[in-house]
Each structure stands twice: as C-alpha cells, then as structure tokens.
Amino acid sequence: MTDANQQGASPAPQQGHSIETMQVEERRFPPSAAFAAQANAQPAIYDRDFDELWSTEAGRLDWFEPWTELYSWNPPQAEWYIGGKLNVCHNCVDRHVLAGRGDKVAFHWEGEPADEIVPITYSDLQSRVVLFANALKKLGVQKGTAVAIYMGMVPELPVAMLACTRLGAPHTVVFGGFSADSLGDRMVDMGCTVLITQDEAWRRGKPVGLKIIADEALELAPNVQTVIVAQRTFAPVAMQAGRDVFWADACAGLSDDPASCPCEPMDAEDLLFLMYTSGTTAKPKGIAHTTGGYLVGAATTHHYVFDHKPETDVYWCAADIGWITGHSYIVYGPLANGATSVLYEGTPDFPAHDRWWEIVERYGVTILYTAPTAIRSHMKWGAEHAAKHDLSTLRLLGSVGEPINPEAWIWYHEHIGGARCPIVDTWWQTETGMILIAPLPGVTTTKPGSATKPFPGVDVGVFNEAGEEVGPGGGGYLVLKKPWPGITRGIFGDPERFQDVYWSRFPGVYFAGDGARIDEDGDYWLLGRVDDVMNVAGHRMSTIEIESALVSHPAVAEAAVAARADAITGQAIVAFVTLRSGFESSVAMLEELRNHVAHVISPIAKPANIVFTPELPKTRSGKIMRRLLRDVAENRPLGDTTTLADPSVVGELQDRAAGENAGEE
C-alpha cells in the first residue's frame, strides 16, 4: 500500500527554500460525518478573531479577580490576562468538587505491579492535596518557595504538584529517570529549599532507589533544607535527622478540610513552574511558565484537540509527568477540564508487550495520547499484542514528541484505532507550554506525517534564511509570529540566553529550532531539528523524510539517519535501522532498503550505508539522538552522552558501524 501512494517527486533544487522536500504523501483521512457532528471544534473556529478567542476561552477557568488586559507584547516578553487573579489548584480540583462532581474519578491509578489499582475521585484528590499542602505549610513552604519534585508516576506526584500550586509555591518536577547530577543542578539553579521524593520507584519489575539518588543530588544542593519522602515500596532508606521526613509523618494529625488551607490567589503572571530542558551542549534551561496564560492554553487545547467530553471520556496520556507533556496533558489541562484519566506507573512492556492494551480494555479508554517512539516500539513487537484486547472504546488517538513517520501513523490508525479513530499529530515544545499545530478532530482532513494546521489563535510561519515566508510548497524554519497564552516567559535567571536561542535569528519572531514545510493546502509538515538537516551534493534534506521512507518498508520498525563527511558529495547519508521481529539483517536486505529509499524518494536520498541495530540511541523522553549518530557515522569520539536513556546502545552501535561498511559505494 505504501509505494503506490508515496511516489517520489522531482528532486530538483527549490530556489529560495531553505530545506528541500522530496516525499509526497497522498493519503487523506477526512473526518467522518458522525464524528464531525459531535465534535467540540466546528469549522467556524478557524474564523474566530484572535482577541475574541483568547478572551472567551479564558472563561473556562474560574478567576478570583478578572483580568483587565488580554495581553501585552514587548518581544521577547509576553504577558497574558494582565491583572487577573486565580489559583491552579482551585481550577483543577476544588471547583469540580464544589460543582457536585466530587465522586467523579480524576485518576484511575494503576501501579506497575498489576494488582495495584486505585481509583482517585476529585474528592479524594482534594483531601490528599489539602492534607499535603498543610504538611508543606507546616514545613515552612509558602507563596514563592521553590520546590523540587523527583518521583515516579505515583499518585503523590500530581498531589505534590497541586499542593504547591495551592500554596503558590513554584515547582520543578525532575523526571525520575534523571541522574543525581541532573537533579542537583536543577535544584541549585532554581534555588529550591524543599525536595519531595520517594523511597523507590518500580521500573520494569525492579525497584529503583530514588532516595539514594536524591541523597547524592542533595550533596550538590546545600540550599535544600527539607526532604519529604513518600513510601512506595517501604524499602528501608537512610533518613537524615532534621532534614528528611516521611510523607505520612509530615501529614500526621493535619486537616484535609479545604477550609483549613484556602487556595492562594495568584497573579496571572506569577511563576507556576520551571521545566528544565537540555540544550545539546550547555547546561539545561529552566523554561518558565506562569499561571493564567499557561492554564488557559493547556485547558483550551485539551478541550478542542482531544475533543474531550468530561462526562463520557476516559482519557489516557501515556507520557511521564516529568516532561512538559505530562504537565500540560496529564495534570493541568485535563484536571482543569474535569477529566477522568488513566495514570499508569510502569513501562509498556511489563510484564508483557500487551500491558498498554490490557489497560485500554480495563478502563475503556476512549482517548490515547502517546509518542511516535512508543508507537514504533509496538510496531516492532508486533500487532498481535493489541489484537488480543478489546480496543473498541478508543475514539481518538494522539501523537507528540517527534515527527511521526507516515507508516507508523498508518499502523497506529489500523492496529490501535481500528481504522475509525481520528489521529491528532500535535506539534509543540516545552517552551510553548501548549499544543500549537494539530488537526482539530471532526474538522481537519488528516494526512499521515503532517501536524496539519496551526491551532486557532496561533500565528505560525515558515521562513527562509532571509526571514521571508516560503509560502506553499516550500521548506524552511518554523517560526511563531505572535505570542500565545502558554508561551514561556523566559529561561529562569538567563534572559540573554533566552534572547539568543529563540529570538536572535529573526528579530521579534520566535524561532522554534525546527524545520517545516507548508503544502499546497496550507498543511504543515515538521522536518525535525534544523541542526539535523543534511547537505548531500548541494541538496539540503531533512532526516525525517528518509527515515519515513525506510519505515515504509515492511521489514523496518524504526530508522534514523545522519550524515558523515564525503569527499565527493560533501555529506553522505548513513542510516541506522531496527528491523521488525521476524526479519534478519543481511547484505541483500541492505541493498533492498537502499533501493527502496531511491524508489520512494529519490536516488539522491539513497543511504551510502546502513547499520542494523536492535536499538537506537534515544533521550530519556524517547527522542532519537541524531547528534550521537553523526559521531558514530563519522567514526569520531562521542559527544556528551549524559542525556541518553541507555548509554550502552551507542557503544554497541560503534562496534556495528565499524564492522558494517558493506553498503558503501
């Protein structure tokens, strides 16, 4: 089905465009009439005026004091809902209980050991949050106290975040897979005085000692004076007298009555949290998000992009809360909208490859949001695992984090969505706080591999080097021309770096660092990070198109390409390929894949060589690290590997690359 639909277009260089595009994806998925009729978004949403839209949508929140000015914009500084006062915990928890929805499940929490299942209603959530907020208060936390949180996917994690927001204490959640150094650096940078962690976390059937890692981090961060330790496994842990206290002991004897701990009225522009994101070399950036604009943005996009119906949907964002996706689309957006969500502690393959599908069946999940890397893992494991379960409750699927290869999109559509669910491919970033480019289900005709249209009230463009719009058909740099409510207010403590990274390439315009092209219908195709663009014989090509061509071969589960220097063509393409289960690497397979790329895209995109590998090097959030693949392709020492999820993967790849030059021309 693939080749017939993905014919190679002309590879002639496109004048004035920064990145060439060669792949043409012709498959179209218009919304069904039935979905369209019930959809939250209707076509007229695209006609809405910017000011009207963001003013009206702010009405989905409760404001203690109304805002007086919609936004101000002095690049790079934006402010939204100026003068407004609100509280995030009130909007995410208390108001639902006050409205009589206390018995509704907020989270179906499921532990990695499958026998642990805890439904948490909005009333339960309120009690837990109030109790813990009282504990924090007693330990000296108040409005403005910086709190670090280092936990796995346990109920105490959202409870801790919400308790901070109740008191007006900004938090930084550090993903539970990060090292002691990463945690220590972040706690120092934010000036945290409190850390909330847990004894151990479950990871693929094994306990991981988070408290031990936290203790190491605390040596680097003497500013932290109080450590609260939730007990997940009840393993014995070292507790430092005067500094460390167990969660249960901190809460003992305190009230869970909401009146005992009112929600602090916060200014719309008060800091809500920092989310650190690693640059390629320098120290991580503390991306700042504030209260009002962030919450309006997360709630509004969650409502429309996921077509969320609080009364009937069971929503599951399978990310980790330690990333921005989990902040905006597990915790803040869905809770603001009164959602019933699944919160799952473990990995997709424990104890077996069908764990996710078992969960979908158990809770009757209707909306599933995940990442291309997870979808490709499921492809690698085989569709039979999903086929064992009843997935008929699903009605919408989402993707985020990387460009999704068209073949992975089709696999997701057929094997998970039963060919009936719209797929929303959502483009956004830690810095944007909220989805900015995505289909609106029921309105948008989707195309596998395209994030389609800017969200209403979001002004996106694609510029060439000179800062001119490339227009339909062209590839270039993705930019945002106007602010949006969830835009980061800056890099914590480093305004110069903020200016430099995002605002210096095109003055007054936000440069996202991604390449993109717009097609004749005005749909956006994300091309990956511009740093990854390759130049082969004068053709500037994105990695994603060649990777997608490889993934469109039935033997391939996952592929990544990188360039190495070449005396004749300037750069030559090296592909790293993971085969689906049941296929073997061989010289014949290598030739077949090279020819497949030549056929699907163009002979100039044909990889010079292919390295077969069981795993690709990825960051802990699942993104392929092409920078390291470049080092492997060039046969040079590896750059910084500290952000790798599994450092052993690249060492193995170097060995394989050294032994496999068979495909070289």
List contacts with ligand PRX (CB under 6 A): 277, 324-325, 400-403, 425-430, 451, 512-514, 526, 529, 621
Distance CA 649, CA 639 (A): 14
Q: Which DSSP letter does residue 202 get?
A: E
Helix axis angle, 180-190 relative to 210-220, nearest 10°? Answer: 50
CB-nearer residue toward ligand PRX: 193 or 488: 488
Q: At how many degrees (to 10) do helices 50-57 and 292-305 cross? A: 100
The DSSP bridge partners found for residue 423 are: 397
Query: C-beta of 487: minimal distance to ligand PRX in Å?
Result: 13
* Shortest Å distance, C-beta 516 to ligand PRX: 9
How far apart CA 616 and CA 638 sit, in angstroms, is: 15
Least spacing, CB of residue 549 vs ligand PRX, in Å: 17
Q: Is the peptide bond before 637 cis (omega within 30 degrees of 0)?
A: no
Extract the runs of DSSP E, i.e. beta strands, from 508-613.
510-518, 524-529, 534-536, 539-541, 556-566, 570-579, 609-612
In whole angstroms, give the CA distance from residue 188 to residue 146. 10
Is the CB of 413 or the CB of 606 nearer to ligand PRX?
413
**How far apart (Å, rounded) are the C-alpha atoms in residues 543 and 23?**
12
Instruction: Measure CA of the first residue to CA of the last residue in the chain; give whole Å.
Output: 30
Nearer to ligand PRX, 540 or 620 (CB): 620
CA atoms of 251 and 348, how far apart (whole Å): 33
User: Of the candidates 446, 357, 462, 360, which has an alpha carbon nearest to the alpha carbon of residue 406?
Assistant: 446
Q: Any residues with CB less than 8 A from the CB of 534 and at least 6 apart, and which?
A: 540, 541, 542, 543, 561, 562, 563, 571, 573
Q: Which is nearer to ligand PRX, 127 or 301 (CB)?
A: 301
Whose Cβ is closer to ligand PRX: residue 401's or residue 417's? 401
Nearest Cα neighbor of 449 from 555, 538, 372, 541 is 372
CA distance 265 to 531: 43
Q: Which is nearer to ligand PRX, 193 or 399 (CB)?
A: 399
The least distance separating ligand PRX from the CB of residue 436, rounded to whole angstroms, comes to 9
Compute the distance between CA of residue 128 and CA of residue 255 in angstroms, rounded to an integer. Answer: 10
Give the burial class of 226: count Cβ atoms within 10 A of its Cβ; 0-12 exposed, 13-18 middle, 19 or more buried: buried
Total residue length of the chain:
665
Tell me the closest approach of the beta carbon of residue 446 to ligand PRX, in angstroms. Answer: 12
**CB 514 to ligand PRX: min, Å:** 5
Q: How far is the CB of 512 from ligand PRX (least distance, A)?
A: 6
* Smaller CB separation from ligand PRX, 514 or 523: 514
**Closest to ligand PRX by CB, 89 or 305:** 305
Compute the least distance from the CB of residue 383 to ligand PRX, in Å: 23
Q: 155 vs 461, which CB is nearer to ligand PRX?
A: 461
Comparing CB distances to ligand PRX, the nearer of 467 and 513 is 513
Instruction: Supply the minimum distance, in Å, between the C-beta of residue 254 and ligand PRX.
Output: 36
* Nearer residue to ligand PRX within complex by CB, 112 or 320: 320
- CA dist., res. 66 & res. 59, Å (int): 10
Q: What are phi and psi of 633, to 5 degrees?
A: -60, -35
CB of 547 to ligand PRX, least distance (A): 12
Bridge-partner residues for 462, per DSSP?
478
Kindly state the smallest distance separating residue 309's Cβ from ligand PRX, in Å.
23
Pick the closer one to ligand PRX by CB: 63 or 369. Answer: 369
* Shortest CB 287 distance to ligand PRX, Å: 8
C-alpha 120/C-alpha 155 separation (Å) is 9
